[in-house]
Structure 1
Amino acid sequence: MNKGHSVLYFMLIPGIVLVLIFNYLPMGGLVLAFQNYKPWLGIFGSDWVGMEHFRALFSREDSLQVIWNTFVIAGMKIIVGLVVPVLFAILLNEIRQMGLKRAVQTLVYLPHFMSWVILGGILLDLLSSRGLFNDVILPMFGIGPIPFLTDGDWFRFVVIASDTWKEFGFSTIVFLASLAGINPALYEAAEVDGATRFKQTLHITLPSMVPIIVVVGTLSLGSILNAGFDQIFNLYNALVYDKGDIIDTYVYRVGILSSQFSFASAVGLFKSVIGFILIVIAYRLAYKFANYRIF
């Protein structure tokens, strides 16, 4: 340990304490997943049931549907959330007026810093059965009401579209950075050869962005079981549980609202184990295809 950095090490203490309290100490509660936990008996007085809750997890129809919903919603978020920022970064890079470019960047970055509590309330006002879209905008085009928040398929569309709108501007930053690293001489040579802007994009810009696209895409696999608790919790309702309920909201409903603490712990542990495996695989893929590594 470098003694000259002792002040910096001391500054780490509050962060380490917070991580220990909120991330590591609660891991002791994972023992509930293997017990028939009764709050009045406590952890040491509750009966052990082994893998019973995990067998129930894969035999209950609602839990299997929740796992499928999580993969579908998170997978679509990853795909759309990767394609849109790449295309937007390329288009934004074509703007030559710096003032306009910075104004557009600022506008698309802003939603990232707004919480889903605020955005959820806005979306509920816009898309509910008596909201702005169904009451005012759609009738102007002769279109009947659309059940955005009460039909499962439409709900998935709203979740994916709103998440993309919120995050694509912020996600664009890394792709703009990769564009800034492309050698301008490549574009100059292509222009001399008569290549149009579209061909320059197709044969220079996109191939140069492939490594960072691979890195972002593969690392996103580690979060495929995180379909967005904050967003869905603020938007969903009982009518869309069959298509919109995900693991995190399911754990909340089963564990907190229904007091099935042991079963909820088993579902949460299952998610954590699968998530850890996917993160390891994602880093392996990122190192193999893009030579990216942290350690």
Structure 2
Amino acid sequence: MESERKHTIFEARNLAVGYSNKKESETISEGVHFSFTSGELIGLVGANGIGKSTLLRTLAGMQKLIKGNILLHGKDLKQYAPFQLATQLSIVLTEAPASKNLTVLELVSLGRQPYTNWIGSLSENDKKVVRFALEATEITVLAQRKCFELSDGQMQRVAIARALAQDTPIIILDEPTTHLDIYHRAYILKLLRKLALEMDKTILFSTHEIDLAIQLTDKMLVMTPQETFFDKPCKLIEAGRFDALFPKETIDFDGKTGRFTIRK
């Protein structure tokens, strides 16, 4: 049963990401390889400016890749039409929604856009999926609240609920714990782990909460200036991959505890 459930869903082969125009391209990171299976929670970590957001936007099809291939269900990402991709992959960015004057219910319902008819009306099944997304993220009581009335932690759960309502096998989140206190950072990451396990979603998120990611994720992508590594957290610790993230004269990584400490 386990072998049937776990299958490769998302791959990168010799991927290079960055920025390009008609005249030239600037590569930020290259040689990225990974293979994600269903039901996995994957953390993406690295220093500021290393290219985490660029990688996520490229994987989501929002930015052109410089080199290599991205495969979704074994098919090249470039072969998916936008409406097809919207049923396979959802993304939660750090930017606030365009209109915080929407209610929570209205914003989460926008996740059903890939499935609604031309006038955007929700079917009974659409409404059922939205209700489930509200329940799964524990925000049903907030359904009629305006988004501008919410705290950062509540707003993050709304954004995740919208991605859930989109009902895609893959969810990508760019720093979902930004601006949250330690309790809500842990809450959001535990919620993502629960959704991956119980709903068989493949969830990739970038984070600065490396200690928490080591504890909660199935796999991790570690971006360094020289190379990007992908493996289970315990394997990455054994190989010393976290040691290369920050200058040793400032921050140490303790492989026994899986934590970073500041050098005094």
| TM-score, normalisation: structure 1 | 0.22
| TM-score, normalisation: structure 2 | 0.24
* Structure with greater Cα Rg: 1
Q: Relative contact order (C-alpha < 8 Å, sep 6+): which is higher?
A: 1
Q: Which has the higher helix share?
A: 1
